[in-house]
Amino acid sequence: NADAAMYEAKARGRKRIGFYGRETGLRIERHLELDMALRGALERREIWVAYQPIVDAHSGEVVKAEALLRWTHPSLGAVRPDEFIAIAEENGSILDLGIWVLQEACNLSREFKARSGRSLKVSVNVSAAQFKDSDLPRIVDRALRRAGITPEELELEMTESVLVSHAEAVNERIDGVKQLGISLALDDFGTGYSSLSYLTRFPFDTLKIDRAFVSRLPDHLPSLELTKAIVAMAKSLNLKVVAEGVEDELQADTLRSMGCEHLQGYLFGRPVDRDTFLDSCCATTG
């Protein structure tokens, strides 16, 4: 049973402490604990989705919302997505989490329209394992239908690492989801592998400039020049650009003057739970 398994794994974790040293031992123990806890976390309703607005750089209107998974563990508190998503990718639970967050996000878009009369595109992060799954197009199609939203109201975000490691299988899946009519964003652009050829080899609609550059605007010259070049290149390739991690007005002004059309960051709104998002975003212009 689950308790016995947990006990055994913990005992194993502890034994390793003597073997690896204290810090590594604690890391392994936390990893084991999160690994096991994550498997039932959805059913226990510990997982929820936060939504962060993406605004039009000129009008300030909310044009999109990014769905971001959150996990509130009963004793450990909030576990950061960077930590638990890596574990979910390892133990396979990312597939269930991925299906769930996709449906939640589509449902939010429908609810937004019902309340405000305006359409809201939702953007959902998709892991490599999901792109390797031949069911992905069917899963996406079902989420759209169940929510009753149009394909234009959904975007999938992927990082370059997905393209690097599984280019073959991923190619097929990308075509599959694109055929549904949804759009595709390349996330965290500028970090990682950044092969410019990806931009023309895959049918992206949106390019998201990584916060690492945005946060250093405008004083850090290399970031400034690089951001300028990315925005210009995106425009010539007919891609929409979103700047991630915009925290102050100076950054926003800089990006606006470069012609970056969409902005995302704490300056415009932090990721918040569904009800808070709907209350604040439907109220302001709705």
Catalog residues that contact ligand C2E under the rule CB under 6 A. 52, 67-69, 80-82, 85, 101, 125-127, 157, 187-188, 211, 244-247, 264-266, 271
Q: Which is nearer to ligand C2E, 13 or 260 (CB)?
A: 260
Of Mg ion, ligand C2E, none, which one sits near residue 265, judging by CB under 5 to 8 A according to partner kind?
ligand C2E
> CA–CA separation, 105 vs 109, rounded Å?
6
Pick from 125, 127, 254, 264: which binds Mg ion (CB under 5 A)?
125
Q: How far is the CB of 260 from Mg ion (least distance, A)?
A: 15
Q: How many CA atoms lie within 13 A of 214 on its CB side?
A: 28
At its nearest, how many Å lie between Mg ion and the CB of residue 108? 16
Residue 204 CB, shortest distance to ligand C2E, in Å, is: 15
Judged by CB under 5 A, which of 133, 153, 188, 261 binds Mg ion?
Answer: 188
Please give the single-letter amino acid code of residue 86.
A
Residue 132 Cα distances to 2, 87, 135, 162, 169, angstroms? 30, 17, 9, 9, 6
The one-character DSSP state at 153 is G
Measured from the CB of residue 143, what is the shortest distance to ligand C2E in angstroms? Answer: 13
Work out the angle at residue 238's Cα, subtended by the Cα atoms of residues 233 and 239, and round it to the nearest 5 degrees: 75
For Mg ion, which is the closer residue by CB, 153 or 187?
187
109: part of which helix (H) or strand (E)?
helix 94-116
Strands (E), the chain: 47-56, 62-73, 77-79, 121-125, 154-159, 183-189, 206-209, 240-243, 262-264, 272-273
DSSP E strand boundaries for 57-196: 62-73, 77-79, 121-125, 154-159, 183-189
Opening angle at CA 77, ends 276 and 67, nearest 5: 40
160, 152 in Cβ contact below 8 A? no
Span 39-98, contacts to Mg ion by CB under 5 A? none
Minimum separation from the CB atom of position 230 to ligand C2E (A): 15
Nearest distance from C-beta of residue 13 to Mg ion, angstroms:
29
- For ligand C2E, the closer of residues 25 and 192 by Cβ is 192
Task: Check binding of 261 to Mg ion (CB under 5 A).
Answer: no
What's the min distance (Å) between Cβ of 95 and ligand C2E?
10
- Asked whether position 130 contacts Mg ion by CB under 5 A, the answer is no
Q: Which is nearer to ligand C2E, 79 or 258 (CB)?
A: 79
Residues 151-180 interacting with Mg ion (rule: CB under 5 A): 157
Which of ligand C2E, Mg ion, none is residue 245 near (CB under 5 to 8 Å by kind)?
Answer: ligand C2E
In angstroms, what is the minimal distance from the CB of 113 to ligand C2E? 22
219 binds, among Mg ion, ligand C2E, none (CB under 5 to 8 A by kind): none
Partner touching 53 among ligand C2E, Mg ion, none, CB below 5 to 8 Å by kind: none
> In the window 201-260, what residues touch Mg ion (CB under 5 A)?
244
3-state secondary structure of 204: coil
**CA dist., res. 137 & res. 133, Å (int):** 9
Q: How many CB atoms lie within 10 A of CB 239?
A: 19
Residues 209 and 190 sit within 8 Å (Cβ to Cβ): yes
Provide the binding-site residues for Mg ion, judged by CB under 5 A: 125, 157, 187-188, 244
